[in-house]
Structure 1
Amino acid sequence: MFIKCLKVGMIETNCYIVCDKVTNSAVIIDPGADASRIVTALEETGCKAKYVLLTHGHADHMLAAHEVLSKTGAKLGVFADELELLNNPDLNVYNAMGLDNFEPFTPDILFHDGDTVTFGGVSMQVIHTPGHTHGSCCYMTQDTLFSGDTLFKESAGRTDLPTGNMQELEESLKRIFSLEGDLQVLPGHGDFTTLDYERKNNPFMGTLI
C-alpha cells in the first residue's frame, strides 16, 4: 500500500491518496480543495480511484469532491449519519466560510459502523467516531488509521460546530485508544503521529482515564 498526502486549501486539509500498487486501485480521502492538483497526483501514481471517502462533511474536507468525482469516475462514500450535515450549507460550515453555490451530494455508498471498504487487495474498516460531527468516521487498515478531525497529534477535534458533541468525542477517543497495536495515525490536519505516541502524550488521555 502506498500513501500520498497533499495539504490542500486555506486550512491545509490533509487529503490522502491511498493506492494498492499491485492492482493500481486507489481511494482518495477528504479532497478538501485543489481538485486539479489531486487528480494530477493520482495520475502520477498510475492508480485509478475507485472511491472518494469522506471522514466527515465539513466544507474544508469536501470542496473538491464534485470535481474529483467527475474527473476520476470514482464513487462517493460517506457515513450514513453524516448525510444531513453533508448537504446543509449551514451545518457543513460552507456558508460560514463565505462560500457560494453549494451543490448537494448524492453519495453512492452510505457506511455504517464496522463496514469494510475494499479496493484491490486493501481493506479498510469503517469506524464511527462521532464528536467533531455526529457522523464523523475513521478508516482503518491493518497498520494505519485515517482519523479525520477526530484525533490529531497531541490534540483532538473541536466540538463547537454544528452536530459536535464533547461527550461523543470522548467516547470516540476511548474507542480509538483501545484499538490493538501501534497504528500509524494520519489526521485531517497537521502532522502524522502514532497511536502509542498519543496514548502517552495526548492531553485528552488524562480526561478519559
Structure 2
Amino acid sequence: MIPRKPLFPGIIELNFQAGEVLGCNLYLIYDQDEWVLVDIGYEETVDDYIQVIRDLDFPLSRCKALIATHADVDHIQGLAKAKQALKTTVTAHPNAVEPLQTGDTLKTLALIEAQDLRLAMPPVEIENQVDDGDIIPVGNLELEVWHTPGHTDSQLAFRLGDVLLSGDNVYRDGCIGAIDAHHGSDIKAFIKSLTRIRDSDVKWLAPSHGPIFAKDNEMLDKVIKRVEGYLHMADFGTLAEDWPLMDQWDDEVAKGILPDGLQLPS
C-alpha cells in the first residue's frame, strides 16, 4: 500500500496521486471501503489507473460506480474496459446515454476527419442516469449532482461540501471547455452554468483538466463577460445569437456609406 494523498477529505485525484499526468483528471470519491470514480480517460491508461487504485488499497470489488462527467472521448473512451475490469456500473446524464451506448464517434469527438483524428469509441451500457439535484451516496458521503450544460449538453458537475468537481466548465487560467456544435455546445447554457458556479458558495473548483483552484469570482466575472461576447461573434457560427457587423453592413449598403479615406470614382 502507498500513502494516500487526498486533496480534500474523501477526494483523491489519481494523476496527482500518481505524480504523473496520464490524461484528464480522475476523482476517486471514497468513504470507508466504498468508492466511485469520476471519469476514466482513454482506454490505454485504464490499467495504469487501476494499478494506482490497487496500490492505494481500495478493494476493486467495492467500486460502486464509474461516473461520466460528459460524453467526450478523452473522458470516457476507457469506460467499457474499466467497467469489465471492476465489474461495476456506469452512471451518466440522460443526454450522454445514446452516444455512450452506441459508441457514437461524432458526438464524442472521437472522429474529426478534417484533423485526421480517428479514435475507437467502445460502446458501454449505462445502468444509472442522474440529473440536476440528484444525490449519489458513497458510504456516508453525499455527492450532489449539478447539470451544467454549455460545453456539452451532458456536462455534469458534482458538489461535495465546499468542493465542486466542475468538469470542463472552467479552468484555473480562465479558459473554458471547447465550444463545438458537434457535441452539443450551447453558449447561452454555458453562461447560465458559469453564473451558477460563480454565485454558489463553493470554495474550491476541481476541474476535469489542470490544477484544482480556489473559486475566484472576479475571474469568473471576466470569463462570463467574454463568453457573453461569443453570442455576437461570427467565430462561433450557428452557435452565435447574431452578428452585429451584418446589421451595420445592411445600414451602410442602404445609405451608400464607405469607410473614411475611400470614395467612389467620379
Q: 1:201 to 1:91 in 2, by over 3 A?
A: same
User: TM-score under structure 1 normalisation?
Assistant: 0.88
Q: Which has the higher helix share?
A: 2
- Distance, in Å, in 2 between the alignment partners of 1:136 and 1:2 is 20
Please state whether the residue corresponding to 1:186 is helix, strand or coil. strand
Please state whether the residue corresponding to 2:12 is helix, strand or coil. strand
- Distance, in Å, in 1 between the alignment partners of 2:33 and 2:41 is 23
Post-superposition offset of 1:207: 4.9
**Contact 1:128–1:135, Cα closer than 8 Å, also in 2:** yes
Matches within 5 A, 1:1-209: 1-6=10-15, 7-8=21-22, 12-20=23-31, 23-33=32-42, 34-47=45-58, 48-86=62-100, 87=102, 88-96=104-112, 97-100=117-120, 102-153=121-172, 154-162=174-182, 163-182=184-203, 184-195=204-215, 197=216, 199-202=217-220, 203-207=222-226
Q: 1:201 to 1:98 in 2, by over 3 A?
A: same
**Contact 2:63–2:88, Cα closer than 8 Å, also in 1:** yes
User: TM-score under structure 2 normalisation?
Assistant: 0.70
Post-superposition offset of 1:161: 4.4
Q: Which runs of 4+ in 1 moved over 4 A?
A: none
Please state whether the residue corresponding to 2:161 is helix, strand or coil. coil
**Contact 2:11–2:27, Cα closer than 8 Å, also in 1:** no
Aligned partner of 1:175: which letter? Answer: R
* Alpha-carbon displacement from aligned partner over 1:154-208 (angstroms, at most 9, x marks no partner): 22222124211111111111111111242x211111121122x2x1223314458
Please state whether the residue corresponding to 1:170 is helix, strand or coil. helix
- Distance, in Å, in 1 between the alignment partners of 2:25 and 2:68 is 12
- Distance, in Å, in 2 between the alignment partners of 1:165 and 1:2 is 30
Please state whether the residue corresponding to 2:26 is helix, strand or coil. strand
Post-superposition offset of 1:49: 1.6
Higher RCO (CA 8 Å, separation ≥ 6 residues): 1
Aligned partner of 1:185: which letter? Answer: L
Segments of structure 1 that go 5 or more residues without pairing to the other structure are: none
Superposition RMSD on alpha carbons, in Å? 1.8
Number of aligned residue pairs = 200
| Identity value in percent | 20
Segments of structure 2 that go 5 or more residues without pairing to the other structure are: 1-9, 16-20, 229-266
Please state whether the residue corresponding to 2:81 is helix, strand or coil. helix
**Contact 1:174–1:208, Cα closer than 8 Å, also in 2:** no
- Distance, in Å, in 2 between the alignment partners of 1:44 and 1:3 is 13
Q: Which has the higher strand share?
A: 1
